[in-house]
Amino acid sequence: MAAIPALVTASTKLHNTTGLTDESHDCQIRDHVAYCRNLLSTKALSSISRDESVLDPHDRTLIQDGILSSISFFSVCKSKPSRKRPMEHCLGIYYPRGRLWSKAVRYLETFNPVQIRYAGQEFRQLIEYPLLATRPIREAILRLDPSCAVFTSTHLLFVQLCLRAKAYACALPVLDKHVCHFPAPSSRASSKSSLALCAKHESGLSFITDSSALSATLTYKDYLLYFLYGGMIYMALKEWRKAFHFLGVVISMPTVGSISMVMVEAYKKWVLVGLLANGKLSSPPNNTPSHLVKLYQSIAKPYVSLAQAFERGEMQTLVAEVDAARDIWIMDRNMGLVSQVVNTFSAHALVRLRKTFAALTVAEVLEQVPHLPADPIATESVIAPLIMSGAMNATLVHSPSHTSDTMLRLSGKPFFSQVSHESHMQVRFRKEGQLMTALMGSLEETNRAMALSDEFVDASSKGQAWTTASEVNQGVGDDFGLDMDEDIMGG
């Protein structure tokens, strides 16, 4: 245990960065990483790796040392089972009731976000430990890269856990941020920026790279699943428009040849969510290849038929479609969504009245939308919540006499409501503005990365080669022409 003071001394030196350039600090941290990894892997000091007191939250120096605590933590985590420490014990201490649970949670909330960039492998293995809860993982993701713009394997793990734990709102701080990048290949990251890892980076793209190991190797399926699960979380929260957007990302993913089952799954949900959000069968995003649209429509035919019946306003056909394909909805686990579609049929029919009428009495509404309760008071109790929730832009006007019908005015809200609407729009504009600024930053980052990437340079040089070749060919062609002419002339 005498080694612990040595570790603390080494760690203290690391904290003293006054007067150091980023490059010197970077070298110092890299040396420290090597030192820690070496120290904790030696047999003589293996006792440290098994000593949970290394992670004692009261020892601020160790805990604040992101590298040491990460590596120590992982060393403790990966301690092998033995006769004295059977597998159940090794795993059990990381379960919520285990001794290391609170230390793990505390660690994820307090680690040094700069130093952790040097210990990506240990960090990821700790965070991907399947027994840790959603909230600490969320805090760790946001602590590592507050913009969340770089997609990592932890993003997928996190949304999966949120979905499984039914902790939907917990996922929003991550889901609401736009994913703009994948971890850059290390060659690109090193060429595009000479900044040291510990320097101040404008974007996580500079330090979340292939070589940082902060993300596992990603496949296109990971990306699809992230957006599918994200869409399902928004569906659970009834944020239909956001769900629609997330599922739209999945279905418009470029593919070569075969279509992924994840995309088909997403398309089925996308059709139903589109009905709930917009009341109609929407067109797929513009960037969806036409052959994919045809494939989707043939594979998910019952969904398309259901949507067409909904769009035509035919309640009986809709119910018949639901009954006919009940087994399919159940098998696809979309029965809940289908039920919600049926339940919102009347609401969307009411909203559509606005296209034709400026005002009508509740009795006239009953004639137009026949599936509402026959009693005008009950009908009013269906219409009023729609207006109150903002789903329907209308007002109700009671008449002086109880015998007269209530009037439904669809010609827009009065002035004061518009003022309120305007103030809400201002807030939305401001939010959108901030979002656009963030997106523009990410776009610039992407442009810069693409311009300096090996692929771009290769493509550019190929392009130049093609240009040169075509220029040469053109010349050759001209020569051929001349030859021909000459031959003809000669002939």
- Positions touching other proteins (CB under 8 A) are 95-97, 101, 105, 133, 135, 165-170, 236-238, 384-385, 387-389, 395-400, 402, 409, 413-414, 416-417, 419-420, 422-427, 429-431, 433, 436
409: exposed, middle or buried (C-beta count within 10 Å: 0-12, 13-18, 19+)?
middle
| Nearest distance in Å: CB 389, other proteins | 8
| Nearest distance in Å: CB 125, other proteins | 21
d(CA 101, CA 132): 8
In terms of CB distance, is 262 or 353 closer to other proteins?
353
| Nearest distance in Å: CB 169, other proteins | 4
In terms of CB distance, is 48 or 132 closer to other proteins?
132
Element (H, E) at 359: strand 359-361
Note whether 303 and 265 are within 8 A (CB).
no
| Nearest distance in Å: CB 58, other proteins | 12
Angle at 199 between CA 195 and CA 201, to 5 degrees: 80
In terms of CB distance, is 166 or 355 closer to other proteins?
166
In terms of CB distance, is 187 or 423 closer to other proteins?
423
Note whether 148 and 177 are within 8 A (CB).
yes
Q: What is each CA distance from 85 to 60, 76, 104, 395, in whole angstroms?
A: 28, 12, 20, 70
| Nearest distance in Å: CB 409, other proteins | 7
In terms of CB distance, is 436 or 482 closer to other proteins?
436
In terms of CB distance, is 88 or 323 closer to other proteins?
88
In terms of CB distance, is 34 or 165 closer to other proteins?
165
In terms of CB distance, is 35 or 357 closer to other proteins?
357
Note whether 276 and 341 are within 8 A (CB).
yes
For residue 117, how far is the Cα from the chain centroid? 22
| Nearest distance in Å: CB 8, other proteins | 23
* Amino acid identity, position 307: A
| Nearest distance in Å: CB 431, other proteins | 8
| Nearest distance in Å: CB 360, other proteins | 15
In terms of CB distance, is 238 or 355 closer to other proteins?
238
- Residues pairing with 360 in the sheet: 408
Joined together, the tokens standing for residue 150 give 């770089």
User: Directed axis angle between helix 345-352 and helix 335-343, to 10°?
Assistant: 40
Note whether 322 and 335 are within 8 A (CB).
no
Joined together, the tokens standing for residue 270 give 């996308």
| Nearest distance in Å: CB 158, other proteins | 15
Q: Which DSSP state fits 42?
A: S
* Amino acid identity, position 240: W
d(CA 453, CA 448): 9
Contacts of 348 (CB under 8 A, 6+ apart): 275, 279, 310
In terms of CB distance, is 161 or 196 closer to other proteins?
161
| Nearest distance in Å: CB 259, other proteins | 32
Note whether 286 and 271 are within 8 A (CB).
no
